[in-house]
A and B are shown apart, each in its own frame.
Chain A
Amino acid sequence: QVQLQESGPGLVKPSQTLSLTCTVSGGSISSGSYYWSWIRQPAGKGLEWIGRIYTSGSTNYNPSLKSRVTISVDTSKNQFSLKLSSVTAADTAVYYCASVVVTPNVYFDLWGRGTLVTVSS
């Protein structure tokens, strides 16, 4: 079955760029049935959608983060990635990658286990 796994540094300095990768296994990221998304959750708080990408490279971002976010896809590696620039302590969170079913219903059906990213000097 399809599984997602986040990877990347667990500690990022303020003002630097957070970079994470999600590896999709057990299925093709190019299947066309899904969008691929990033979601984050600060400790003890709720879920915040960051953005999504389709295998064509088409993206949509949360307006509150849009100026700092880039999501990209590498179909040859079955991966998609997140870059968040100019990070501050407010960006400390568990970051999840997820697959998004888009037809006919829309929902996040599979999630990675999440990776904690701490922004600190």
Chain B
Amino acid sequence: EIVLTQSPGTLSLSPGERATLSCRASQSVSSSYLAWYQQKPGQAPRLLIYGASSRATGIPDRFSGSGSGTDFTLTISRLEPEDFAVYYCQQYGSSHPNPGYTFGQGTKLEIK
């Protein structure tokens, strides 16, 4: 099973600042199979980025994803108040006979 490790666990920043969130995989992940989600308290996760770098429908362009292999990054260029939330990366492993999905443990982005 591929393990995703997100860092930092908590990131304290101010509105207007740039946020850089990391997701490291225990083995190589296809970029097609790497996604990022945002979750606010009491809500379901919302898809932000798929295919490592493609923004989902309706996601502002201040959100961007990059990376390949074992190292992936979610960048928020200029933080808005509504961006403070928990962010998860997720990968799909297609190994036969047990394909499956794993999530990172999350990065909490909090207001400084």
* Residue positions of A touching B, CB distance < 8 A: 37, 46-49, 52, 60-63, 96, 101, 104-109, 111-114
Contact = CB atoms under 8 A, between A and B. Distances in A.
Contacts of A105: 32-33, 35, 50-51, 54
Contacts, number: 62
Contacts of A107: 35, 47, 50-51, 90, 92
A113 B45 CA distance: 9
Contact of A47 (B43, B45, B92): B45
Most chain B CB inside 10 Å of its own CB: which residue of A101, A104, A105, A114: A105
B92 A106 contact: yes
Place the interface of chain B in its size category: 20 to 34
B29 to A, nearest CB: 11
B88 A47 contact: yes
Contacts of B32: 104-106
B44 A63 contact: no
Contacts of A111: 44-46
Given A105-B32, A106-B33, A107-B47, 16 more contacts: A47-B90, A49-B100, A49-B103, A52-B101, A60-B99, A63-B1, A63-B98, A96-B44, A101-B50, A106-B35, A106-B92, A107-B35, A107-B92, A109-B50, A111-B46, A112-B44
Nearest to B104: A46
Interface in B74-97: 88, 90, 92
B37 interface: yes
Interface string B40-59: 00011111001100101000
Choose among A46, A61, A107 the residue with the greatest number of B CB atoms under 10 Å from its CB.
A107
